[in-house]
Amino acid sequence: MTPLIQERANAASKAGPGRFSLSVLIPTYHDDPTALLQALDADAQDATLNGVEILLFDDGAPDAALNAAMGVAVDCCARPARLLTAKANLGRSAARNRLAARARGDWLLFLDADMQIAPGFLNAWLDAIRATNAQALFGGYAPVAAPARAHRLHAALAHASDVKAGAERAQEGAFAVCSSNLAVSAAAFATAAFDEGYTAWGWEDVDWALSFARHFALAHIDNPARHGGLETPDRLIEKFSRSGANFARLMERHPEYAARKGAQLALTLKRRGLTTAARIAGRTAALSPLPVKARVLGLKLYRAAIGAEALP
């Protein structure tokens, strides 16, 4: 029987130690992580601790050519690296959980496949892990430059929502945590994995952070990574359109999230029967030639309306 998850390990991984200080975990679904893998491999060779491994997870229905390119990139790594390939798509939460289950590091660092890092990135993480008393650390995001006009809206949304210094994020606590550029103690993660009930798009990272913070200490540092894979407005709308069920699940599991501005907007739209009108208005504004700030507000309105429609 063909295994549900196949594993390909490079020579350094086969010859490496049984345990590592840090496992870098990168789930991907039709995105090319090879540039990030090469940057991490180069950065790891300068790391002060000789204990970094890198794992990729190709999450189901893989593109044969892309999967082969990932395998070649893994083989070429000087540091221990492995490629896990799932026969069927498992989803964002399950992919991260499977990566964590196969990791051999004392700490787990989750990154997205489209991220870009600066030199010294891994050394900074190793230093932070040695110094912390927390069981999870979020490193934050660096500002994103739009490579083309079609990506300006996504860049503006990221600036408005995600680009915050560690001190500012610390004021928000678990609410300001995302699932990429996130380091977690493997021992803690073993009892606090991602909820695999989140099967569509979005909100699983908010759920994880709020759930984790109930039992463990979570802190913020300034060691940002940059998201390189900006989406077009149409693609953002399509992603947001699949987030409603997950938002409703989050609100059911974490009533405290209702105090957040986006949740308050969704609840107001639901209560006043404005979900359809808001969804249409938000989509129209997001896809219009209005100034970018107005289009970002349109995206937020659209996302809130999608969430509101899924609420009971």
> Which regions of the chain does DSSP assign to beta strands (E)?
5-9, 20-28, 52-58, 81-86, 105-110, 115-116, 136-138, 182-185, 218-220, 226-227
Enclosing domain of residue 48:
5-229
Q: Which of 198, 229, 260 is the last residue of a domain?
A: 229
| Residue 191 belongs to domain with CATH number | 3.90.550.10
Q: How far apart are CA 205 and CA 277, in angstroms?
A: 28
Both 225 and 253 in one domain: the answer is no
* Percentage of the chain exceeding pLDDT 70: 98
Both 154 and 248 in one domain: the answer is no
Whole-number pLDDT of residue 280? 98
Mean pLDDT for 117-137 is 96
Mean pLDDT for 236-248 is 96
Contact 80, 89 (CB under 8 A): no
Confidence of residue 149 (pLDDT cuts 50, 70, 90): confident
Both 195 and 288 in one domain: the answer is no
Both 258 and 156 in one domain: the answer is no
Mean pLDDT for 249-259 is 97
CB atoms within 10 A of CB 10: 22
Confidence of residue 275 (pLDDT cuts 50, 70, 90): very high
CB atoms within 10 A of CB 120: 13
- What is the SS3 assignment for 49? coil
Residue 225 pairs in a beta bridge with 141
Q: How far apart are CA 291 and CA 51, in angstroms?
A: 48
Both 282 and 162 in one domain: the answer is no
Both 185 and 54 in one domain: the answer is yes
Mean pLDDT for 237-251 is 96
Both 75 and 186 in one domain: the answer is yes
Both 295 and 222 in one domain: the answer is no
Confidence of residue 48 (pLDDT cuts 50, 70, 90): low
Backbone dihedral angles phi then psi of residue 49, each to the nearest 5 degrees: -100, 135
Q: Which of 214, 229, 244 is the last residue of a domain?
A: 229
Both 120 and 82 in one domain: the answer is yes
For strands 52-58 and 5-9, give the pairing: unpaired
Both 223 and 245 in one domain: the answer is no
Backbone φ/ψ region at 61: left (φ over 0), alpha (ψ -120 to 50), beta: left
Both 215 and 239 in one domain: the answer is no
Q: Which of 197, 229, 261 is the last residue of a domain?
A: 229
Both 169 and 52 in one domain: the answer is yes
Whole-number pLDDT of residue 2? 45
pLDDT tens, residue by residue, 193-214 = 999 999 888 999 999 999 999 9
Confidence of residue 230 (pLDDT cuts 50, 70, 90): confident
pLDDT tens, residue by residue, 7-27 = 999 999 998 778 899 999 999
Decide if pLDDT at 47 tops 60: yes
* Percentage of the chain exceeding pLDDT 90: 82
Whole-number pLDDT of residue 1? 35
Q: Based on the structure, what is the number of domains in the chain?
A: 2
Radius of gyration of the chain (CA): 20
Whole-number pLDDT of residue 89? 87
